[in-house]
Amino acid sequence: MGGKAYSLEPLPISPVQTKYRKMGDRFPVPESIPLLEQLRVYEPVSMSGQPPVVWAKAKGFQVSDHWGNTWLDWSSGVLVASAGHGRPEILKAIKAQAEKEMIHNYCFPSQIRTELSRKLVDLAPPEMDKAFILTTGSETTENAIKLSKAHGHKVGGPDKDVFITFDGAFHGRTLGSQLAGGSPALKAWIGKLDPSFVQVPFPGDFRVKDKSFGFFEKALADKGIKPENVCGVMTETYQGGIAAFLPVDYAQALRKWCDKYDILLIMDEVQAGFGRTGRMFGFEHYGIVPDLACFGKGISSSLPISAVIGRSKFMDAFEPGSMTSTHTGNPVCCAAAMASLDIVVKEDLPGQAATKGEILMNALSRIADAHPDNVLALNGKGMVAAVQVGSGGRLDGNLAWEIVRNCIVRGLLMFSPVGPEGASVKISPPIITPEDALEEGLQVLDEAFATALDS
């Protein structure tokens, strides 16, 4: 969520030199200040929300600047680099595609887009038999809204139009995806909201006490919404800001409810897809198959590419030419995605995430146990987790900010705190991070918590 810019005043820090990290004696790095200042001149303020670490090279699970500092990366560049940064296989595929002198083809057919759509469909459950390739995650959630409304209107007329999402959800920053988002502050700029977008409490939030599916139905009834008028329900497979999942029985009841009323169920897997949670797809944890799923980030571990995968019954709603995008299936991005998905399968990234996730969650539980008054919730699965911090039972974004800063100055790269009140310390290392590097990062996090809380 961000909310404040980092200071550009270099302050003294303790130098670090370990197997995986190297830090000088001041942060931000003094030599980086002119570049950071220029960015603040030429870019909108909104772009200054991440820690002032100038990326010069990102390789595997490490990020280095131009001045000899190296961080262990626990951001994966916001959950993109699942297979690792700058993988040689992906670089090779990008170069090979470029050398074919075919780097753009709009929606004209191409071999590489054919291969990637087939690959995405092959990886997905058999019911999900079509893939629509796009560029960003927001485009996929926008597309899910479009397909839900189209289906609703077709089977139920103009009143079957309500699109349900969850409080606290994040589905992107474009108009439709923000209408579907569940943080009122993020959509204050919209002004008059569209009443067909409705949010209900998210059962994975520690502050929501009733976690039964009955509470979902009650929330809708309280808002005067009839199931017959709902066209779609979309949820992040795990809510990104807090890394929290739905209860399994809730997700299964939701699936049945959607079937009963001819409503599309959409899983936003933009963060969860392709191994991150310890399964190929995060929705496998629920034992359900959605009608549509949205993917982005980890598809390519690198270049911008995203996809909606779903049932042809819904995916085929629009006539030729009326559901497209200029950069649909850019060939270089497709090549990167093909190479990355090969790694996901060959190196069993879902299995790796499940195994390393146990190490991660065990260590995080120990940190939580050491600070019972300040760790208000700990959630995660596989190689993603979030620790929500605060005091007196209230979330505290400043505390999360301090913990993240404590990590960064020690050479552990995190992105800015997220989630409600910006109070989540989010952990998402590249899945290929070796175990000893993961342990090293966990030690740093332990120190970062202790420094913030034990003084």
Single residue of 76, 97, 199, 271 touching ligand PLP by CB under 6 A: 271
Q: Which two tokens stand for residue 293?
A: 């799923």
In angstroms, what is the C-alpha Rg of the chain?
A: 22
Closer CB to ligand PLP, residue 296 or residue 329?
296
Closer CB to ligand PLP, residue 62 or residue 235?
235
**Using the rule CB under 6 A, is 199 a contact of ligand PLP?**
no
Single residue of 51, 84, 201, 240 touching ligand PLP by CB under 6 A: 240
**Using the rule CB under 6 A, is 142 a contact of ligand PLP?**
no
**Using the rule CB under 6 A, is 178 a contact of ligand PLP?**
no
CA 84 vs CA 75, 141, 241, 257, 336: distances in Å: 11, 25, 22, 39, 13
Q: Which stretch binds ligand PLP (CB under 6 A): 16-24, 131-139, 280-288, 370-378?
A: 131-139
Which residues inside 213-232 make contact with ligand PLP, applying CB under 6 A? none
Single residue of 74, 170, 245, 257 touching ligand PLP by CB under 6 A: 170
CA dihedral 185, 191, 192, 197 (to 10 degrees): -30
**Separation CA 383–CA 429 (nearest Å):** 7
**Minimal distance, residue 203 CB to ligand PLP, in Å:** 17
Single residue of 113, 149, 160, 171 touching ligand PLP by CB under 6 A: 171
**Minimal distance, residue 24 CB to ligand PLP, in Å:** 31
Q: What count of residues does the chain have?
A: 455
Geometric angle at alpha carbon 303, from 104 and 100, rounded to 5°: 40
Q: Let me know: does 167 contact 200? Beta carbons within 8 Å.
A: yes
| 51: three-class secondary structure by DSSP | coil
**Separation CA 163–CA 180 (nearest Å):** 8
Single residue of 97, 138, 301, 416 touching ligand PLP by CB under 6 A: 138
**Separation CA 308–CA 304 (nearest Å):** 14
**Minimal distance, residue 298 CB to ligand PLP, in Å:** 11
For 100-135, give one letter per residue: b (16+ CB within 10 A) or e: eeeeebeeeebebbeebbebbbebbbeebebbbbbb
Single residue of 82, 117, 136, 428 touching ligand PLP by CB under 6 A: 136
Task: Count residues near ligand PLP (CB under 6 A).
Answer: 13
**Minimal distance, residue 140 CB to ligand PLP, in Å:** 7
**Using the rule CB under 6 A, is 141 a contact of ligand PLP?**
yes
Q: Which two tokens stand for residue 162?
A: 């309500």
**Using the rule CB under 6 A, is 137 a contact of ligand PLP?**
yes
Interface with ligand PLP (CB under 6 A): 136-138, 141, 170-172, 236, 240, 268, 270-271, 296
